Amino acid sequence: MKRYTKANGCLLQNGLYDPRFESDSCGVGFVAKLDGLPSHNIINCAIKVLINLEHRGALGGDKSTGDGAGIMIDIPDSFFRENLQNDSIKLPDLGDYGVGMIFLPSNEKHKENCIKYIEKFVFDEGCDILGWRKVPVNNSCIGELAKSTEPTIYQVFVHRGQIKRENFERKLYVIRRQIEKTIDAEKSDMSQFYIASFSSNRIVYKGLLTANQLNNYYLDLSDSRFKSKFGIVHQRYSTNTQPTWNLAQPFRFLAHNGEINTLNGNINRMKWREFHLKSDLFGDDIEKIKPIIIETGSDSAIFDNVLELLVLGGRSIPHAMMMMVPEAYGPKIHMSEDKRAFYDFHSAIMEPWDGPAAIIFTDSRYLGAILDRNGLRPTRYTVTKDGIIVLASESGVLEFTPENIIKKSRLSPGKMLLVDFNQNRVVPDKEIKAKISRQKPYRRWIKDNIITLRGLFTPSNAQEEDEETLLRKQLIFGYTEEELKLIISPMASRGQEPIGSMGNDTPLAVLSEKPNLLFYYFKQRFAQVTNPPIDPLREELVMSLESFVGGESNLLEESPENFKGFKLPHPIITPEDLNKIVIANHPDINVVWIDILFNKKDGEKALENAMESIFAKATYSIQSGITIFILSDYNTDENMIPIPSLLACSGLHQYLSKKGLRTRTSIIIHSGEVREIMHYALLVSYGADAICPYLVLSTIYNMAKNNLLEENLKPEEYIDSYIVAVKKGLLKTMSRLGISTFHSYFASQNFEAIGLCNELVEKYFSGTISRLDGINIEDIQKEAIERHNKGYSNKKNLEYFLPSGGEYSLRVDGEKHFWNPNSISLLQLSTKTDNYEIFKEFTNFVNNDERSPLAIRKILSFKKRNSIPINEVEPIESILKRFVISAMSFGSISKEAHETIAIAANRLGIRSNSGEGGEDIERNLNNSRSKVKQIASGRFGVTPEYILSADELQIKIAQGAKPGEGGQLPGHKVTPDIARVRHTTEGVTLISPPPHHDIYSIEDLAQLIYDLKCINPNSKISVKLVSESGVGTIASGVAKAQADIVVISGYEGGTGASPLTSIKHTGIPWEIGLAETHQTLIYNDLREKIKIQVDGQLKTGRDIVIATLLGAEEYGFATSILVTLGCVLLKKCHQNTCSTGIATQDPLLRAKFSGKPEYIERFLKFLAQEIREIMAYLGFRTINEMIGRTDILEFKPPINLWKAQKLNLSPILNPRIKNTNIYHIPNIQKDVEMYDDNFLNQLQPAIEHLSPIEISLPIKNIHRAVGARLSGYIINKYGQNYLPDDTIKINFYGSAGQSFGAFLTKGITFKIEGDANDYLGKSMAGGKIIVVPEKNASFSPHDNVICGNVTLYGATSGEVFINGKAGERFAVRNSGATAVVEGVGDHACEYMTGGVVVCIGSTGKNFAAGMSGGIAFIFDETQMFDTKCNLDMVDLESVWDKKDISFLRSLLEKHFLLTSSPKAKAILERWESSLPLFVKVIPLEYKKVLERIKQSEHRDIEIVSATEEVYNG
Amino acid sequence: MAKSGGFKEYQRENPKKIQIEERIKNFNEFEILLPKNNIIEQASRCMDCGIPFCHTFGCPTNNFICDWNHLVYKNHWKKALELLHLTNNFPEFTGRVCPALCEKSCTLSINFEPVIIKQIELQIIEKGWEEGWVLPIISNYKSGKKVAIIGSGPAGLACAQQLVREGHNVVVFEKNNRVGGLLRYGIPDFKLEKHIIDRRIEQLKAEGIIFETDVNVGSDISINYLKRTFDAIVIAIGAYEPRDINVIGRDLKGIHFALDFLINQNKINAGDKLSDEIINAKDKEVVIIGGGDTGADCVGTAKRQGAKSITQIEILPEPPKERQIYNPWPFYPKIYTTTSSHEEGCNRLWSLSVSRFEGENGFVKKIYLKKIIWDENNKLEKTSFRESNEPEIEIKADLVLLATGFLHVKLDTMLTSLNIKFDEKGNIKVDNNYMTSESKFFAAGDSITGASLVVKAINTGRKVAEKVNLYLNSI
């Protein structure tokens, strides 16, 4: 949920807190009777489902207020009929009346007002009011917060009057929209007013409640006359504690678990479409329902708005869902021609509403559920013999007798399940979609209407420019030598976005003294926690860059007209391609060129006026039938200066959108400015349909000709390769946000502007987040002129060099860097010689010297206060306790450096962090243990022992240098030692998945925290986030998930290897994110519950004092620590050639490491001392007194920096929060409740005496992380591998909750009879888990799903036997466990680095993506496995080796022995004929990998091959 | 970026030198350029650092070292030369005589041997000359403004070239009969053969610079003439005032300033007529006071002249062999170095100060030295010293060369008549725009900084040119 609501007037923007950033996730489910006969039992069952999902919701600061819960059911006709008799209201037949469930303001006058409007519009539209009913509620059971905002709830009964029955639903919608609009426009606070539902067949009961409260609050729900054939329930977990009654779900047509990542783009495009909506069904009413989207709603509510329009506009609900949530249909995916045509056709009129989503929907006839294309939310269902179907986020939410169950299954990615109450049956995905795909001749429509431009995209070519013209243009567009060498050359030579390391230490564009391209005033946004990034490497088959130029007409019409225009496989076109479009002889392609230039002689307003004339020309052109605008800056000359392409593009796009002229027209950018991936991403995101980067292509041509590129290719090949790099980069940029398709990314404006003034943003980039004000359009003009002058300085001969750049590595004429020879040499000298005076020189240089760049903290200064003597300030020792050394992995840095850091930290009694690469357990013994152990998405080395050796466990959601991406360790740094600690293969590049595969959502994070607290209750839990707008809201969610510490990392941080785009353009400074976090937590009454830690280029006492004043109470250091150890920022960490022995694994170089723990100790003590001095000066005795005291700070930019002057930092400094001095108050840690406590006592004697024991226990889905505590107990006592196998055997009966058997250690065997949910065997190390269906289950185990998603994530050893199918991403990141399973979903064995998987049933697609170790055996009965396997990193062969054969057989025998699997039995019985059907999946040999790495030097060939195919395909 | 990990593959390779016995027979340069292939290997050792200390910290003219290393590695010599010329007008001079601060601050030097930056620089420019790439760059714009430059040392020449390329008319006045200043007269031929200067002067002339030699400004032409004729005047007359030692016997014959000695030999090599007396070390016991570079040049020159013995005396203590904790990288290493002249044979004595000279017949014969004791009163620098009570040391000396450094600019008639202000050290005082206290008079090089390196002179020459250009465009 990303929009803001006015509900209760609470959610108003305040300081940096903005309700737009709210986000939520949850649990959903439905129960239905296939016979369609209403019963009260269904409602009871639905509520039971809700209660059993309660752990997926959240409580706010006030313990008893839930984030929202609700239920949608049929209209309980007989209940109302009887109930209303008392009020002498006689209801007509069901279907002839509608019921509105209305939340009315508690203020009487407002209430009356609302009622008046409601009745007015009902009458106006020709219906009648039958009467009002006050809904009986009991508010004694609800929380204070909920009570304070509780509305008065009424039901209004409406007769259809003259309206035809078939039009009645539509009319109710029209009435509702008018009521909503009118009341929304009222001046007084009507925020409590809300219409939960208004329908003739469905009704919604919901509120700011917990699952348990729903039933007690609404008395109707317990009335036995209250009946329905189905019940949809929803339990909400919002990241904020200011949720409202209105935002509880279900909405009118759906309930949604997940997040719509693409929402911005969806909303923007719906706005243009509104202008063209026409419908016979609505007739003139169409105007009354506009705007369609209520932007103040949540993502789910907005989805509901559009779904409602489509359904009431005439499409069936499954059809509408297929349009909005299309499954992936790329070339790698097998599907029928008709279905592909359906999706193709609809892509021209509706972009995917994409993101992690399990959506349950109904229009009363159909009840269904659909899953997003990535399958990022769990959805399990059970069908019984007595005609009940229950579907929910988890299995086991309703209990059935085993004999009664016909089917247990799950929804797969992109699939739909439908209950048809007319046919009284469950319709499978294939059947629904086949029927809908053929209802219109989509295939023919496409064939007839597609415009093919012959030769488009065939050979890439570029115009050859003479050297001088080229140089002049490069100067005008601000090219630098560095860009040519560091960015364009690797892209053109290797088709790869370049990688760098050591973060970003240059100023923001607005704090720079140099003119910056407009692009650099924007920062990319990215997904963290509430939605996962997508994996563009291993899961690219769900992604697409296809774009559609033209198209779009009336959304409510199904006609071939919708498909007018042409398709581009990707948005980058060469000048030749563009020419083909220009000369195309087709009635629908009418091109106009518009120069985007301004005349430098036209005065101060030249640029602004030029923009206006572009708009005027465009408007005129549309009237004369133009369909394609080409915005070109090609004709720049001595006087005509290019307008920044982004300004022209976004300006025109927004202008046309607001005028309703944007559909059916396309904008192509023809600009010399565009060259970096960031540029393309911005243009696309701000409305460019396609981009022709003529100058960079000419540049490449010229470089190729002059032999300045790396490989030996033809110019055309370099250009091709460059375009490939751009495409990959775009995919990565989209995936970072969790967006899969270009269609959804287009016009989505997923950027944050820093340093642009509000009027500018409002006019040309409206809707973009921009919080600190900044430069205006005249300043942009000024910078453009400055660049242009370089190209036309008339006096001198042009020098044959561009400015050097210096953005990434320091150059004397380039950008300033925080780390430069002065700062490095002073810091090293002071710590080596233990000289505090030199240290002061260092801090003085960093803080004040003009050679050191600006940061936000540097334009803040202290107000004068009364000083105190320094001896009154708290001592160095107590300040030191707040210091931590941030995560740097063993692998990224050398053993020597890693241990030196830990030793220094331990000597000082502070915490250092292992980083994500695991840690040798031996280090516990020699005082070089890192106290903080990090858990990242790769789960490298995350064993139970590792977790138990931590004082603090840090979940790394994102890191400053590359948020939204996983860590990377190039193969040449993976030495045998590192491979051992990480449980991987030596020499194989390690890439962590972009998302944690057990955190797709906030409730998943809560689950992981719960898991960790179960195994190691003594450890604190921290969650590392990266600063971006909205991070405060996420931090609130983190606090509610019971974490102890939240880390806010600045964008500038980062010691590891990352793509340069991420280093430079993603995330924002910590100052903003920190202030936002502090404010938001206070606002939500959560600040005392959680500690805020900050990191990102902290170097001086001043930096830390400012961080404290902005709300931080702990401080992390990384780069500065490395500098004290001898790092001189070679920025070669990713090449393994660090000559100071720090970021390398080369023994020759490691031997050169000369850092000493003392250096770090001195540095941190110096810092603490300096902090004390500042505290004394400011008159603070303790850090606690300083936390959040923004009143001490004022904005003071240096006079000479004209851009910095224009900022407005008041959102950071002046939140309207009264008491800002609030900080974390440690309380005694409560032990979490866990199921293990019920049996641990019973097992203790056996554990003491190592005597085998076997017990039996019932289990339910609410019992989570079972076994974690037990394992922790055993490991603490004996270590990880001590207990003999099967010492402890527990037989569970029922449905196991999430993370069953997590961290299970050797000696423990769990058997579950029933089924299990997600994350079974997470990080397991030596345990054994057996999953079998209930003994007397009537279904065949082989065909049913009895195990959830993401099984064995990060497991390092142990065994799992599953007599049934499992869900998606089976054994992802398994590095040593063995599993036998009878069917798996998509992406199985992803990123596997060790262990064995035997699958004797069907597999989903993308098997073995990124699998670099271990083996898998697949029983491939259909002989189709090779089409489902991702062959980038593995080979397939038959099982011929004798050892393999006997190994496989023994596993199957064991499987049969433990599970009595009929399938295993059948295979073993016919072994001779079965064996040939087995396929062995093996990662390409280790030797080959080594060879390849050697051949390609440091080039990351895995990445190349992994992503290459999709483009060529 | 050069080759990743190239430094692990290749060791630093220093250029070879002609054998000592051979090279001391004449005054020619004796360093042999490395073969081009070796240079490419050597360039590949460059790590293309995130923070190139060589470029931003070491090199006074901020040569784009890592970038041209990369170009050399990629065999793009011409482009490398263009880039080198972007920051340094005369790499053939610095490539020969620079103490290579860049190499001292090279990040490889922390744990490995630094890249042979100076040699690469030299090879780039020498290849440029060979291939005919060094051509006059003639401005296609003429400002019509006139600039006079007084002094044709590296600062004056760099300044002149920058200004002529901006389209101004530039006249360089030189009091000697040949241009080049200290480059020509102070640096021995075995370090810089003078035809190297001549070929560069040809380029400067072709670009339009007019050289007026044998003109002593202030006497041969008047200050008023200058003021009248030129829109701006740049003073680049060096810092020739030598530091003397005032002890008993200083007036004895055979005691000379080092520079006089060096100039003497350079003029002989050039075939110039000598107006002064000939100072020759042949068969003499030569004592050189001062352990710096000038002293070392005297050693090499005296050796070639056939000195009987050569002793070099330094007041500072013998430096350590390695960097000390308070003198870490990237700062200039205060360590014991052996120059090529020292290799050729010389006795070096440390912690000594001259207490008196003793002579016969008015000619110096002996030198008496006092042992100096240095106090370590500050961790960072050894600042104070005292004479020890030990008895004086006595050394034979027929020829004493005072290489004890230079004080400041030499006060000549021009400066006096101009009424120019000086800083506390006695050098010409300039403002942020390098303008002196006298309007439209600028100053560059050693005359504002005191005696320093050629590379620094080139750098200030360029910087002054930039300011002069702004000034000229503003009037």
pLDDT of residue A1222: 87
DSSP annotation string for A985-1054: -TT--EE--SS-TT-SSHHHHHHHHHHHHHH-TTSEEEEEEE--TTHHHHHHHHHHTT-SEEEEE-TT--
pLDDT of residue A962: 81
Residue A2 pLDDT > 80, yes or no?
A: no
Q: Tens digit of pLDDT for each residue in A359-383?
A: 999 999 999 999 999 988 999 999 9
Q: How many Cβ contacts (< 8 angstroms) between chains A and B?
A: 130
Give the tokens for residue B314: 């330094």
| Of B172 and A345, the one with more pLDDT | B172
Residue A101 · residue A71 · CB < 8 Å? no
B70–chain A nearest CA distance, Å = 10
Interfacial B residues in 58-97 facing A (CB < 8 Å): 62, 64, 66-67, 70, 74, 76, 79, 82-83, 86
Give the tokens for residue A1016: 């190691």
Q: How far apart are CA B100 and CA B332, in angstroms?
A: 10
pLDDT of residue B388: 85
A106 dihedral zone (left: phi>0; alpha: psi -120 to 50; beta): alpha
* A286: β partners: none
Cβ–Cβ gap A819/B325 under 8 Å:
no
Cβ–Cβ gap B141/A835 under 8 Å:
no
Q: How far apart are CA B254 and CA B367, in angstroms?
A: 12
Residue in chain B nearest A711 by alpha carbon: B74
Q: Average pLDDT of chain B?
A: 93
CB contacts, 8 Å: B62 with chain A: 812-813
B330–chain A nearest CA distance, Å = 7
- State which amino acid sits at residue B367: I
Residues for chain B: how many in total?
475
Q: Tens digit of pLDDT for each residue in A645-689?
A: 999 999 999 999 999 888 878 999 999 999 999 999 999 999 999
- State which amino acid sits at residue B319: P
Interfacial A residues in 824-883 facing B (CB < 8 Å): 824-825, 828-829, 832-833, 835
| Of A284 and A924, the one with more pLDDT | A284
Interface confidence: ipTM more than 0.90: yes
Cβ–Cβ gap B51/A1126 under 8 Å:
no
> What is the phi/psi pair of residue A707, to 5°?
60, 40
Share of chain A above pLDDT 90, in %: 70
Residue B62 pLDDT > 90, yes or no?
A: yes
Cβ–Cβ gap A1139/B7 under 8 Å:
yes
Using the CB atoms, write b or e for B321-333: b if 16+ within 10 Å: eebeebbebbbeb
Closest residue by Cα to residue A697 from A663, A673, A728, A681: A673
Query: What are the distances in angstroms from CA B256 to CA B170, B260, B278, B298?
Result: 36, 7, 11, 11
Q: How far apart are CA B326 and CA B383, in angstroms?
A: 14
Closest residue by Cα to residue A679 from A713, A719, A710, A725: A725
Q: Are strands A152-159 and A128-134 parallel, antiparallel or unpaired?
A: antiparallel
Nearest CB neighbour to B111, from listed A485, A817, A1140: A1140
Residue B384 · residue B375 · CB < 8 Å? yes
Q: How confident is the model at residue A1487 (pLDDT cuts 50, 70, 90)?
A: very low
Q: How confident is the model at residue A876 (pLDDT cuts 50, 70, 90)?
A: very high
Nearest CB neighbour to B8, from listed A707, A810, A1148: A1148
Measured at the alpha carbon of residue B280, what is the angle toward residues B399 and B358, in degrees to the nearest 5? 15
Q: Average pLDDT of chain A?
A: 90
CB contacts, 8 Å: B112 with chain A: 1139, 1152
Q: Tens digit of pLDDT for each residue in B143-165?
A: 999 999 999 999 999 999 999 99
Closest residue by Cα to residue A1367 from A263, A225, A376, A388: A376
- State which amino acid sits at residue B232: A
Nearest CB neighbour to B53, from listed A821, A829, A1139: A821
**Residue B330 contacts A, CB cutoff 8 Å:** yes
**Residue A1148 contacts B, CB cutoff 8 Å:** yes
Cβ–Cβ gap A833/B379 under 8 Å:
yes
Q: How far apart are CA A296 and CA A263, in angstroms?
A: 13
Closest residue by Cα to residue B231 from B439, B28, B35, B70: B439
Q: How far apart are CA A712 and CA A1154, in angstroms?
A: 41
Residue B277 pLDDT > 50, yes or no?
A: yes
Q: How far apart are CA A317 and CA A910, in angstroms?
A: 58
pLDDT of residue A1497: 43
**Residue A599 contacts B, CB cutoff 8 Å:** no
A959–chain B nearest CA distance, Å = 21
Residue in chain A nearest B76 by alpha carbon: A708
Closest residue by Cα to residue A1125 from A1155, A1167, A1164: A1155
Q: How far apart are CA B393 and CA B318, in angstroms?
A: 17
How many of the other CB atoms lie within 10 Å of CB of B309?
Answer: 18
Cβ–Cβ gap A833/B108 under 8 Å:
no
CB contacts, 8 Å: A1135 with chain B: 4-5
CB contacts, 8 Å: B4 with chain A: 1132, 1135, 1137, 1497-1498
Q: Is the pTM of this model over 0.90?
A: yes
Interfacial B residues in 111-150 facing A (CB < 8 Å): 111-112, 137, 139-141, 143
Q: How confident is the model at residue A1505 (pLDDT cuts 50, 70, 90)?
A: very low
Q: How confident is the model at residue A1495 (pLDDT cuts 50, 70, 90)?
A: low
Residue A1489 pLDDT > 70, yes or no?
A: no
Cβ–Cβ gap B55/A812 under 8 Å:
yes
Residue in chain B nearest A706 by alpha carbon: B76
Nearest CB neighbour to A821, from listed B56, B66, B82: B56
A486–chain B nearest CA distance, Å = 8
pLDDT of residue A1273: 94
**Residue A92 contacts B, CB cutoff 8 Å:** no
**Residue A808 contacts B, CB cutoff 8 Å:** yes
Cβ–Cβ gap A810/B56 under 8 Å:
yes
Q: How far apart are CA A75 and CA A1249, in angstroms?
A: 62
The answer for residues whose C-beta is within 8 angstroms of residue A1252's C-beta and 6 or more apart is A1246, A1286, A1287, A1288, A1289
> Which range is least confidently modeled, A516-520, A973-977, B131-135, B307-311?
A973-977
CB contacts, 8 Å: B5 with chain A: 1135-1137
pLDDT of residue A552: 67
Residue B61 · residue B84 · CB < 8 Å? no
Q: How far apart are CA A400 and CA A402, in angstroms?
A: 6
CB contacts, 8 Å: A1131 with chain B: 49-51
Residues for chain A: how many in total?
1513
Residue A1319 pLDDT > 70, yes or no?
A: yes
Closest residue by Cα to residue A53 from A209, A206, A219, A210: A210
What DSSP element (H or E) covers A568? strand A565-568
> Which of A31-40, A240-249, A1215-1224, A1226-1235 has maximum average pLDDT?
A31-40
Share of chain A above pLDDT 70, in %: 94
Nearest CB neighbour to B62, from listed A812, A1131, A1139: A812
Give the tokens for residue A556: 């409510």
Q: Tens digit of pLDDT for each residue in A453-483?
A: 665 666 666 777 888 889 999 999 999 999 9
- Give the residue carrying structure tokens 């042009």: A798
Cβ–Cβ gap B56/A812 under 8 Å:
yes
* A152: β partners: A104
Residue B1 pLDDT > 70, yes or no?
A: no
CA A36, A40, A42, A48: dihedral to nearest 10 degrees?
A: 170
**Residue A647 contacts B, CB cutoff 8 Å:** no
**Residue B105 contacts A, CB cutoff 8 Å:** yes
CA B32, B37, B40, B42: dihedral to nearest 10 degrees?
A: -60
Closest residue by Cα to residue A769 from A748, A789, A788, A754: A754
What's the number of CA atoms in the CB half-sphere (13 Å) around residue A56?
32
Query: What are the distances in angstroms from CA B471 to CA B234, B269, B467?
Result: 12, 41, 6
Residue A654's SS3 state is helix
Residues of A noted as catalytic = 26
Closest residue by Cα to residue A554 from A744, A279, A746, A174: A279
Residue A1005 · residue A1319 · CB < 8 Å? no
Give the tokens for residue A1084: 């939500």
B28–chain A nearest CA distance, Å = 36
- Please name the residue ranges forming H helices in A438-480: 442-449, 467-476
A810–chain B nearest CA distance, Å = 5
Residue A129 · residue A123 · CB < 8 Å? yes
Q: How confident is the model at residue A63 (pLDDT cuts 50, 70, 90)?
A: low
Q: How far apart are CA A1483 and CA A1502, in angstroms?
A: 12
Q: Are strands A990-991 and A254-258 parallel, antiparallel or unpaired?
A: unpaired
Q: Report, as an integer, the average pLDDT of B260-276.
A: 89
The answer for residues whose C-beta is within 8 angstroms of residue A580's C-beta and 6 or more apart is A453, A454, A455, A456
8-state DSSP, A1299? T
**Residue A1498 contacts B, CB cutoff 8 Å:** yes
Nearest CB neighbour to A795, from listed B79, B166, B326: B166
Q: How confident is the model at residue A1499 (pLDDT cuts 50, 70, 90)?
A: very low
Q: Report, as an integer, the average pLDDT of A1239-1266.
A: 93
**Residue A506 contacts B, CB cutoff 8 Å:** no
> Which range is least confidently modeled, A240-249, A771-780, A1186-1195, A1382-1391?
A240-249
pLDDT of residue A1502: 39
pLDDT of residue B378: 55
| Of A970 and B56, the one with more pLDDT | B56
Residue A1057 pLDDT > 80, yes or no?
A: no
CB contacts, 8 Å: A1137 with chain B: 4-5, 7-8, 47
CB contacts, 8 Å: A1146 with chain B: 8
